[in-house]
Chain A
Amino acid sequence: MTNKLKYVGKSVPMHDVMDKVTGEIKYVGDMKLPNMLYAKLLLSDIAHGVIKSIDISKAQALKGVVKIYTYENTPSTSYNSHIWYDGLKAIEDEYLFSKQVRFYGDRIAAVAAEDKETAERAISLIKVEYEKLPHIISPLEAKENPEYRITSKEIKSGEPENIIQTAEIVVETALKTQKVHHAAMETHICLANKELDGTVTIWTPCQVAFQVQLVVCTALGLPKDKVRAIKAAMGGSFGGKGQPVLEPVCAYMAYDLGKPVKLYMDRTECIIATRTRTATIGNVSTAVDAEGNILARDIKMLVDAGAYMTNGEAVALAMGKKAFRLYKIQNQRYTAEVVYTNTPIGGACRGYGSPQIHALTEINIDAAARRLGMDPVKLRLKNLFQPYDKDSIGGPALGNARVIQCVEKGMEVFNWKEKRERPKAIGRYVRGVGMACATHGNGYYGAYQDYITMSLMMNEKGEIILNSGIHDLGCGTVTTMKQIVSEVFDIPLDKVTAVEGDTFKSPFDSAGTQASRVTFVCGACALKAAEQTRAKLVHYASRILGCAEEQVVLENGMIYASDQPDKKQAYGDMVTSIQKTLSEKVEVSCTYESPANPASYAVNFVEAEVDTMTGMVRILEVLAVHDIGKAINPGFVEGQIQGAIQMGIGFALSEEISVDSGGIVKETNLGKYHIVNAPDMPDVKVMLIEEGEEHGPYGAKSVGEVSTVAIAPAIINAISNAVDIDITALPATPERVLEAIKRKNIISEVRQ
């Protein structure tokens, strides 16, 4: 950008931050409607079986219980909560309520009652008899069972098999990644009401309002003009509130009862019965030559969709494609098998498969460097993509790919060489450094439809209203859009209002807040809408001012003809004149279809300290370098990265949803499910490489997801660097680290 930017590139505060610091903002949990009922779910306490009988008599008799819902008195239309647009095909295996129980946490019943206590009490009074069936919790076992095998995928370029077979140096790595809880601080919740005209209105902290509408319509058999989804204040999502979990059930109850119903979950329910990061078992073989050139790579992923399909297939494909967008590897194969297990349901989770596959491949790259006795940074620099290189499977152009620059700058700032070559401490605490690279996309171009319509209007006060189906998840989307619009018109942010998703009021958006598309695609639409509206304003103003369009100047909220700088008038006055004299509105509705899907890159450097007595790992320092194109709001970008690092440290070291041999979830609360807290959180330094991306607004590209991808492998590589062990399963808990240290000691003793 040659012009000096006034609003873009500034760290202005989030639009609703005042309401958040005062506690005045209303999340769905804080909303109340007259005569509102409270609803609670009954979840299965077995992993697999069939319901033989449900006795609701005691619960029904409780005073204040309004109605109890089970599979017996609700629609039995199957749906898939992952389907976000009409025409997207995926196995539809979900129901409002199950007769077939597929995991510990499956929805058996719901109670609507006059108050919370009654709803909760009634749930405990429902008696369910099950016929238990054998369950499978291991994806490896599931793979051998045709009823659990869903599909397989392959992506390939060149002839990797032959090369790997004959290569002298082939480095193999195996890694298991776990199910993770999104752990948004706000647990899942939904409010629905039936309006007098029969419409069901749903208030939900969601990521895709049009998906909520679609899934509810499918499950309930209602036309779209009878279901209105409104995006409510969001208390954190990270993909966890992407697929509608509670909305269909809540909407059905409200529809059936003709009353407002609030359905809420506690933390335990949220952990076991919403969605999780898809677990994987990965194996990779990489052939390298002695100079560190990657000759070929073969990646195999076993993808555990959990009890229901949701996005199992989509996530398997998405992660595979990432393997072709980081290093120049001409000969590469990715194969995935997707299976069901009787365990919590997989779904979208920040990074959508990227953290899983990068953990495997980036640990493998370090293993290759170790085998060659080479600095892992050097090996990477030899193989990373250059700007405008081509995706080796013909995927969307990588664009201005600046990953090499990220590595080089990061190395310097982190002081990589010195830290890496420093002699290792002997004794209990050993430090090591590690790094990893990662890539992620910018929307759906090349995979799914990706467009959005926005309308923008300037009123008689010179204020602008941007109407579109956006969703602020707490990342600053609304403010980001406002900054873009403010820049185009040269007016302060408080003159711009950007409203959020409401399926009865918003112009259509094809994909919502997913796939790291919001700034890149929606932001580009906001820019286009603003530019078109500006052009309209200029056009009409030239007629009013009696000058050429080129002479119309817009400056700091004032408009004038360049040869009459003393006759400035406020935008609003000009709009009023335009309306009065020309009978025209300064308003535009425009659709923007994303023409590209460049790669965003992140490079993380980590220093970690391993306690060789306890296996405890402490992260001392993190440097996150990002190829972001341009930061519309650098403060938000840093915030995204720092939060993503917190999530990634948990993925690497402490967070896991696991089940026991009976399929019962072990980590059922935040006491057992360990997310990183403030004392354990390292300082995170952020460095942005802002080299601009052609199709991004002001050059911007994504950051929200890619920021959580590189951290886990960087940590594991730092652990390996410290104590020379192989971690083969995440999270690297103290037990696992200790075990690996012991294993290594035994091996080295045997060798001696």
Chain B
Amino acid sequence: MILDFNVNGRDYSIEADARARLIDVLREDLGLTGTKEGCGEGECGACTVIIDGLAVNSCLVMAHQTRGKRILTVESLKQDGELDSLQKSFINNGAVQCGYCTPGMLMSCKALLMRNPNPTEHEIREAIEGNLCRCTGYVKIINAVKEVVKESKAPSEEDHHE
């Protein structure tokens, strides 16, 4: 079956197995191996991608369900050689250890900030509740997101004062 969709800003029209999961098409057919599989059952979040603005477990989605949709994977975050502010903050805050949860974690956080640029700590924790990490205890991940929020807020607050 032909699958037309947009991944990371690029339109694709590919032949994909009717039973293929989105994660397999991304990893195997498009070679976007940044998206990880940790359970295949929607329980770990390692496979999180953004579909039309929402964070979704790509292991639970059939590729054909994404026809005509816009998908973002971790590979989309770095633009023109420049890291996304979340990526930078993950680095600066030591939010990455083994790195296996990182792509999914980043995409959940990205989706959060896309719909709510000013989340509370509680909202940050909720946004990654489906993303398991065994290395970091989440502490530095949450700090990293908080820092991005704080930094993006700083100029807008200045705007406000003007």
Chain A residues within 8 Å of B, Cβ to Cβ? 11, 13-14, 16-27, 29-30, 182-187, 233-236, 238, 266-267, 473-476, 635-636, 638-639, 641-647, 669-671, 675, 677-679, 681, 683-684
Task: Contacts A185-B134, A641-B137 known; list 17 others, CB within 8 Å.
Answer: A21-B83, A22-B74, A22-B78, A23-B32, A183-B134, A185-B46, A185-B135, A187-B37, A236-B135, A266-B40, A267-B40, A474-B97, A643-B137, A670-B44, A678-B125, A679-B122, A684-B137
**Would you call B75 and A22 a contact (CB within 8 A)?**
yes
**Closest residue of A by beta carbon distance from B121:** A683
A515 CB to closest chain B CB (Å) equals 19
Complex contact A669–B106 (CB within 8 A): no
CB < 8 Å neighbour of A473 from B75, B98, B142:
B98
Known contacts A21-B87, A675-B132: A14-B138 contact under CB 8 Å: no
B138 touches A681 (CB 8 A): yes
Q: Which of A236, A639, A645, A675 contacts B100 (CB 8 A)?
A: A236
Q: Which of B61-69, B88-96, B154-162 lines the interface with chain A?
A: B88-96
Which of B35, B40, B46, B134 has a CB less than 8 Å from the CB of A675? B134
How many whole Å from A190's CB to the nearest CB in chain B? 16
Q: Taking the complex as formed, is B71 at the interface, i.e. its CB lies under 8 A from any CB of chain A? A: no
Which residues of A are found within 8 Å of B98, using beta-carbon distances? Answer: 184-186, 234-236, 473-474
Are B99 and A646 in contact (CB-based, < 8 A)?
no
Q: Which residues of B contact A642 (CB under 8 A)?
A: 136-140
Interface string of B35-46 (1 = CB under 8 A from A): 111111101101
Give B130 Cβ to nearest chain A Cβ, in Å. Answer: 8
Which A residues are in CB contact (< 8 Å) with B43? 267, 669-671
Nearest chain A CB to B104's CB is how many angstroms away?
9
What separation, in Å, do the CA atoms of A681 and B99 have in the docked complex? 19
B73 contacts chain A at the CB level, 8 A cutoff: yes
Task: State A184–B98 Cα separation when bound (angstroms).
Answer: 9
Q: How many residues of B contact A (CB 8 A)?
A: 53
CA distance A476 to B91 in the complex (A): 13
**Contacting residues, chain A, for B97 (C-beta < 8 A):** 14, 236, 474-476, 639, 643
Interface pairs (6), CB distance under 8 Å: A16-B99, A19-B99, A185-B46, A638-B139, A647-B134, A678-B129
Residues of chain B at the chain A interface (Cβ within 8 Å): 27, 32-41, 43-44, 46, 73-75, 77-78, 83, 87, 90-92, 94, 96-103, 106, 122, 124-126, 128-142
**Contact (Cβ within 8 A) A684 B83:** no
Interchain pairs with CB closer than 8 A, number? 174
Q: Which 9 A-B pairs have the closest CB atoms?
A: A23-B34, A474-B98, A20-B99, A642-B137, A235-B100, A670-B43, A646-B137, A23-B74, A30-B33
Q: A29-B37, A184-B134 are in contact. Are A638 and B94 (CB under 8 A)?
A: yes
In the bound complex, do residue B91 and residue A21 qualify as a contact, i.e. CB atoms below 8 Å apart?
yes
**How far is the CB of A127 from the nearest CB of chain B, in Å?**
25
Give chain B residues whose Cβ lies under 8 Å from the Cβ of A636. 94
* B-side contacts of A25, CB under 8 Å: 99
Please tell me which one of the listed residues B34, B126, B129 contacts residue A22 in the complex, with CB atoms under 8 A apart: B34
Q: Which of B128, B129, B130, B136 contacts A639 (CB 8 A)?
A: B136
Across the interface, which residues of A come within 8 angstroms of B142, CB to CB? 678
B4: shortest Cβ distance to chain A, in Å?
Answer: 24
B101: which A residues are within 8 A, CB to CB?
185
Chain B hits for A19, CB < 8 A: 99
Question: A646-B138, A647-B134, A678-B125 are contacts. A185–B44 as well, Cβ < 8 Å?
Answer: yes
